[in-house]
Amino acid sequence: MKRTFAIIFGAVAAVAVFAGLVHAALVAAHVSEPAATTVYGMTPRRIWATAALGLALAGVVIGGLALRRSASGLRPGHGSLWAIVALVAGLLALANGGLNLAIAKGGPGTGNGVVGGAAALVLGLIGMALGGLALARSGKWRSQAG
């Protein structure tokens, strides 16, 4: 029972931190005010932001799996390849999310995809961090450096 409560509490805390980081990215990009008229449906910029968000989420998942593989040490081999994939996916998502925020002409609800762009920016950064940590932990790269 305690473990279930701890997992639920951790998930709620992670969602709260993620929402706070997305809001901070929107405030930093000066697009935090909602639109006067809301645009419904998918627009090209919303599709772009959703694709960047999907790439960022894939980078986080792949980075987490690469980090778990590098920490376990059970199966050496292609762990560093997955870490590099997570780094590249995170970088691409970070760049696309930031570019989406940079060219947006309005806040949430305008159809510019600013919420998805901010989420892609935050998740891309997390994916890059996980991939970099997994790459640093892999024994292959340590043996080449020294």
Q: Is the Cβ–Cβ distance between 56 and 87 less than 8 Å?
A: no
User: How deeply is 4 buried, as exposed, middle or buried, from its count of CB atoms within 10 A (0-12, 13-18, 19+)?
Assistant: exposed
Whole-prediction pTM value?
A: 0.78
Q: Euclidean distance between the first and final Cα of the chain, in Å?
A: 47
Is the pLDDT at 127 greater than 90? The verdict is: yes
C-alpha pair distances (Å), 85 with each of 73, 81, 102, 131, 143:
19, 6, 25, 8, 21
Residue 93 clears pLDDT 70, i.e. is over it:
yes
33-51 pLDDT, tens per residue?
Answer: 777 777 788 888 889 999 9
What amino acid occupies position 38?
T
Mean pLDDT along residues 120-135: 91
Evaluate if residue 32 carries a pLDDT over 80: no
The count of C-alpha atoms lying within 13 angstroms of the C-alpha of 69, restricted to the half-sphere facing its C-beta, is 19
pLDDT tens, residue by residue, 99-122: 998 888 877 888 888 889 999 999
Q: Which of 15-19, 25-29, 83-87, 93-97 has the lowest mean pLDDT?
A: 25-29
Q: Cα–Cα distance between 136 and 10 in angstroms, integer? A: 26
pLDDT at 85: 92
For the chain, domain boundaries:
2-140
What pLDDT, on the 0 to 100 scale, is given for residue 75? 57
Q: How far is CA 117 from CA 12, 45, 46, 56, in A?
A: 22, 9, 8, 10
Only one residue has tokens 């998942």, namely 61
pLDDT of residue 141 exceeding 70, the answer is no
Q: Which residue has the higher pLDDT, 113 or 74?
A: 113
